[in-house]
Amino acid sequence: MGFDIYRVIVGDRHWVLDWALTAVLTDPDGDRRPIRFDCLDVVTLDDNGLVERKDTFIDLPQAQAALTAAAAAAGSRGRS
């Protein structure tokens, strides 16, 4: 599993990380299927600069499409 970071936005009491999750799934036959989908972390800080809250948002339709495509490719292997 890996991460591609696009940008980081920093404010006085928050930061935002715009990134993508990347991975390679291996099916039971050993075939490898790369996937990726975009994510966003929003982190708020308290008065001492410590993390007060962290929320992660994923592009769910993009993640579902990536996982569905990988599963379909694995399922169609060997079919004629």
CA distances from 25 to 72, 75, 77 (A): 12, 13, 15
Predicted pLDDT of residue 80: 47
Domains and CATH numbers, the chain: 2-72 (3.10.450.50)
pLDDT average per 10 residues of sequence, the chain (80 residues): 96 97 90 94 97 98 92 66
Predicted pLDDT of residue 76: 66
Q: Look up residue 79 and give its two tokens.
A: 């079919």
